[in-house]
Structure 1
Amino acid sequence: MCTLYSCKSDNTANTAFDDKIILIENNPQQYLARIDTIRPNSVNDEKEATDFLLYSLAHNYINRNYYPSKELLLTSIQTFQRRNLPQQQLEALFLLAKIYRKEQDLSSEVHTIENAVRIAKSEEDSEWLFYLYSYLGDMYIRQYNTLKFIKYQTLANQCLKDIDFQDISLLAQINVAKSFLYVGKYKESYDTLQTIESKVKKDNVYYNDIKRLQGMALFKMDLLDSCIDNLEEALNEEELPEHKFTCHSILTYCYYLKKDLENAERHKKLAIENNTDTGIGFTETEFYTICAEFAGENGNREEQIACLQNANRLYQTAIENIGGQSLNEAIQAYTNIQEKKAFHKRLSLYRYGVTGLLLALCVGLAIHIRRRKKQVYEVLALQKQINTLENLRNVKDEIKNFILRDFEIAKKIAMLRATQQTQSAKFLKDLDKYNIVKGNDLLATHWEQFYKHIDISFGGFHSKLTKEYPALNEKEFQLCCMLVSGFKTEEIAAIWMNSVFSVHKYKTNVRKKINAPEGADIIAFLKEKLSLQ
């Protein structure tokens, strides 16, 4: 019951929050006029965090240049995270991203939106994902990053493919119209905006955006009079400098085409006044190109040169940010802005085409040389490895020969010592002078060193034997190692200084422990079991 009550309370709180958001979007003044709406100065709990967020959103809708305290907003976001309130987090992060945009902190802006994307994905909120991706696409196109624009615009469109247009929020509908505008579907964009406008009042916070986007779509359709009407209406309530710049720059072009130079000059000055140089995008480039035409027709060479320098600076910025694409390609793909001077267009295409061709040839040549060098180095490395392995094999063969020679010496001396003790006493004494006996591992009973020699000469026989048959004792290990190296029963007895009968007894014990048949060849059996050649 407690769990059900808690879930019900959370759902009720989320519904109440959503209702307040809808009220703010349609009439923020009415929300702020309520008795319980006061300016929050601190954030200590969930209620204060929510009140602060709603108050900030309402003021931001009324005045787009209003931004709340970043510190209080970050504290509110932390509160929403602790209380697991995804909708409040999304609204707060969206507002925080706008603050970072104002501060021109691109990395923090992207990081904030991507955090919001993560939350929206976990909530499976397609609408929020749509305009978060749209926000990223819009942001990157302002920064001339066309690859990321394509990525995020595609992701945004996929979010709404299974949702009816009438069921999505107003902001999402506006972003759909904006996406049509970006990809050159001007008629679809305008029709969508008309449908949206018919459902909202003039005091709606998005009404100005609708009129501005309508004007931009009409401009692209060459309907200049209707474009002028919509943009003039949008300017009546517009507050953001970048939106004012967009409106004034398009109006400059419209009046210029209508030969109304007085109004064209007036809007040109207003556009320059509102140009904050914050990366508005290709519209700014087009604006300065038109200004250069004005100045040229009026004989004002200094102003013409200044405008062309500004346009050239923006072109260079675009080239640096596009990451190797030609400026013409970027313009055709994402803004459809065409150069008005045919000669300038041909010259630009020729210049970038030749540059691109030379660059491609240089890159291709560099890649070819690098591949050839790599092949040569690989051949040399392989040859070196082959030589090294051949040398190692030769050294290993020599070591084996030395070891086997020592084994043969040990056999002979052991047999001599065991069978002809009286006759060989002087001979053995002479051998001791030259450390022949002490230097031989078997005669000196240096079994650990003997085992190493066995491993070297017989494919790791001792190591495999101890791992496979740990039940064998030390004497039995010695016996098996001497048998594999070719020692006969009598020679083993001589090495151990024991009787032949004792050696046979050890052999019988070994057969039992390794489960070999009675009378079987121990070494043949072990070689098969230990997979030895």
Structure 2
Amino acid sequence: MKNPFSSLLSSITSILIIVCLSFSGDVFAQENQTNNEISENYLLSSNEEKYENSEELIKELRIRHETLLQKGDTLKGIGVLMQLADVFGHRADYANSYDVFWQSLFLADRVQNDSLDALISWRLGRFYSFYKREKESLKYLNKALSIRKNMVEKGETDSAYLVLNYFSFVNTYREFDMPELASKYLDSCLIYYKDVKNQLPMPELNFEKAFILSKTGHNEEALELFKSLEPYFLNKRPSYMVLGYTYWGDVLQNLGDLNGSVDYYEKAIKTSEKYKRHIDFTPLIYERLTEHYKKQGNYQKAYENLKIAKNLDALFFDGRSSMNKSMLEIRDDFRIEKQRQLDLIQQQRFEKLKQEEKISMLQRVILLGTIVFILILAFFFFRHLRNKHKLEKQLIRRNKELEIQKANELLELKNKELAASVLQLVEKDEFLKDLKEKLKSNKDNLQQSEINKLLRTISVNNTNNWEEFRLRFTAVNEKFYKKLTKKYPNLTQSDHKVCALIKLNFSSKDMARLLGISVESVHTTRYRLRKKLKLERKENLEDFIAQL
């Protein structure tokens, strides 16, 4: 058969967080306005002396909670519920604490807030420590610390508020009776400590220091520190002296003052009864009294105190007690409502995802269609540009070819005219030469004076003819002459004449007539010219000259 206590823990850890902790770290504050919405309500500055029976405080918190919800201030409303759950927890009224916390969980679903997440993780960790489940407790306390550190890194909160998280580790290790680890985290508290709004008061840190001193053999120092802290707690948090007087009694017992320790244990019990706070701590006090009376040999008193301790322990922590019986019951109204809300949220998310998927698909189709259309348009546009560019290039090339062709034709025409002109000059000179020879041969038939007069008027001058030809050829074939002179600067004037005549397609005979030399001399001149131009045997002189 399943243990009722195990059933209790199983149901609690899966669906609730009970705020029922008796420790000084019942505060969790932030320095900015948004995060302070939790802390300002959670740290209501109420005078505990006014609420000796916390019914009045419970009533005020309920009214305040309703007022905040009517104003639409959900976050502050959650903060008030946190404190209300804490009040029920200190009274060991776990069923009501459970109900109140369920309310806060419903409200928390509407709020996305890192401070709230850190607070819930922190209190869940403290809840597990209350049931001595160290592993689970440290898991959630570390989660809360991690969230808070992340907020510090983002600049959302001051590093001073890490003190509250480290302080929860101090409380937890005190309850686990691990003073060395408690001391380690107390040092972390002191490292980050500074005076900011809603910061943990220094006396509460000193209270933990006094406890650690008492556990590490420094009882005299611990006793003096407890005495110095008593006025502060009596003024600010009188119910907290339930713990203070208990640990004070432990120090006196360590020092051998057994009667004094009993007095402070009894003062702790009376303080708990007076303020109706930390009553879940009283079984531990009665256990201390039991041990005290056993040492004194007063077994009757020891038995009576042990019986009270067992009864209180069963009342507060046994699932079979009337106070905790409801904790084992499955709260169908909460479970069904929560499940209904989760199903509704999931359905809404599913519908939203389907709608978003349809919209996304439509957007992708439109985007794809647009991209395809743009690509097709771009393809035809670039093809048009390419064809246009190609046509333009062809037209430019054609025009250039026509210009070159026209220039070549013009050049060829001018060269033909030049060649014809030169031939006419040669023929004229030959005619005049023949005429001169005939006159000389027929001088007997004519008067000598007239013959001499006619011979003087006939002038055959090849030099003048060539100079006239050179000037006209150079004007027509300017590029040819420049290229020939630049590429072959060692050519003579005669070589230039031969090249010009070859350029005009003069035959060897015509060249001989123009130059006034024999055909053989022309061939010799051409041969020498080939050598100067460094032509191979297979290379044609006329083609070479034409390419220049």
**TM-score bracket for the superposition, by shorter chain length:** 0.3 to 0.5
Relative CO higher for 1 or 2, CA cutoff 8 Å, sep ≥ 6? 2
TM norm structure 1: 0.41
Higher-Rg structure is: 2
